[in-house]
Amino acid sequence: MLNRRLIRIRAMQALFAYKQAEGANFQLALDLIADNFSPDLNSMEFQDKEKLEGYKKLGQTLFQEAFSRQNAETFDSPPEVLRMVEKAKEYYLLKNKKDVQHYATRMVIEAERVYELYLQILLLFIELADRANQDGSNEDKSKFAENQIIKALRLEKTFETQCIRRSVSLNNEQVFVAKLYREVIRSNERYKEYISKSNHTLEEDFAILKYLLKNVILKQEIAWEYFEKQDLYWIDDIETLRAAVTHTFQALVEDGKLKISLLDDEWDERKEFLQTLYQKSILESKDLEDILIPKLKNWEIDRISGTDYILLKMALVEMLNYPSIPVKVTINEIIEIAKDYSTPKSGQFVNGILDGVSKDLKESGQLRKSGRGMLDNK
């Protein structure tokens, strides 16, 4: 259920978070230099403020040049300034190293969280059915708990096993369940129409669950607020969750058996894809920029959207490391993500750059595709 589009988005989000942290670390390192050469207001000794200010500016300039792609000017500097610059560089690189790992770990956890939300939504249907069963005002009406799909879900061992393995439960969320049922479900006209009938076909049972999923669980404010607190990227994950839950229910209608999605099926491969996009976009950043910058000669790099720059690097990592993924698939996916998450003109910009880059990589022999990856690599 965690398709490659969602994986690419998670990688982009983690890279964006890391770049923000990297920028903050850079400023902290500059502040470290500034603090070191600030006058000691508590000292009784003479403070040469002009000299200290000069050392501060020189140290900060040397530090900035150390991490610039431009060739730095060479000139003699006072030993105390050079020592401070080295200390700031060590501090900056160590902070970045820790942040790379931090966001890599968080990225995987947040991706797996989508699967846990999938299980939680399935469980929520059972909990809502139990609430309906306890509702005294429904005595003369059909029972939501008799919905054939919900009954099958209760008995599905795979679902039970996955909830136990992932520690998914709503036992401590009964206030939320009760509020959602009492304030939204019970008064919903489509729901009232459903329970007014004595018997339902399997198709009707599926239709009401599909309706409640789309119009209540993934849309209504009470449910939205609940899930948003658990998932930082809830708004990005809604469509994936809707499709996964719908597919699970639809399988019973079409094939006579619920199809519980298993994270284990493709997760090892997807996780490796996620981690590669993230790690190589950072660790091989300079090499990727060497490929990109010639194509950006007509653009001021510091004015390019940060998200676009991240997506361009991700696309290069994917092209160079996954022979089985066609170039057009990579470019089209990155374009769509750019349209959704960056500026209005990002799709066109990213398309133009990646089209030119892919042609150059092919001509230089760096772009090697095999199997399905050769479909558009003619």
On the CB side of 173, CA atoms within 13 Å amount to 19
Q: Tokens standing for 196?
A: 């007014």
pLDDT of residue 244: 96
Work out the average pLDDT over 273-301.
Answer: 90
Higher pLDDT, 164 or 69: 164
Higher pLDDT, 212 or 74: 212
Confidence of residue 255 (pLDDT cuts 50, 70, 90): very high
Pairwise CA distance, residues 1 & 281, whole Å: 24
What pLDDT, in 10s, does the model give residues 47-59?
A: 788 999 999 999 9
Work out the average pLDDT over 228-257.
Answer: 95
The yes-or-no verdict on residue 140 having pLDDT over 60 is no
| Residues written for the chain | 378
Confidence of residue 74 (pLDDT cuts 50, 70, 90): low
Work out the average pLDDT over 213-218.
Answer: 95
The yes-or-no verdict on residue 377 having pLDDT over 60 is no
Residue recorded with tokens 């459903």: 194
Confidence of residue 71 (pLDDT cuts 50, 70, 90): low
Work out the average pLDDT over 106-113.
Answer: 94
What pLDDT, in 10s, does the model give residues 327-361?
A: 999 999 999 999 999 988 899 999 999 999 999 99
The yes-or-no verdict on residue 266 having pLDDT over 90 is no
Give the residue from 34, 37, 32 showing the smallest Cα distance to 52: 37
Query: Nearest 5°: phi and psi at 72?
Result: -80, 145
Query: Radius of gyration of the chain from Cα atoms?
Result: 28
The yes-or-no verdict on residue 303 having pLDDT over 90 is no
Pairwise CA distance, residues 302 & 68, whole Å: 12
Q: Provide the whole-model pTM.
A: 0.88
Work out the average pLDDT over 71-90.
Answer: 87
pLDDT of residue 47: 76
User: Do residues 248 and 259 lie in contact, with contact meaning Cβ atoms separated by under 8 Å?
Assistant: yes
Work out the average pLDDT over 256-280.
Answer: 92
Give the residue from 157, 225, 228, 219 showing the smallest Cα distance to 188: 219
Q: Tokens standing for 114?
A: 């989508």
Confidence of residue 85 (pLDDT cuts 50, 70, 90): very high
Higher pLDDT, 198 or 274: 274
DSSP state of 110: H
Please name each of the domains of the chain with its CATH number: 4-104 (no CATH), 112-265 (no CATH), 284-374 (1.10.940.10)
pLDDT of residue 302: 62
Confidence of residue 142 (pLDDT cuts 50, 70, 90): confident
Q: For a pLDDT cut of 90, what percent of the chain falls above it?
A: 79
What pLDDT, in 10s, does the model give residues 166-210?
A: 999 999 999 999 999 999 999 999 999 999 988 899 999 999 999
Q: Is 132 exposed, middle or buried (0-12, 13-18, 19+ CB in 10 A)?
A: buried
The yes-or-no verdict on residue 370 having pLDDT over 90 is no
Higher pLDDT, 365 or 247: 247
Q: Tokens standing for 43?
A: 């000292």
Mean pLDDT for the chain? 92
pLDDT of residue 6: 93
Q: Tokens standing for 236?
A: 């990005």
Pairwise CA distance, residues 331 & 327, whole Å: 6
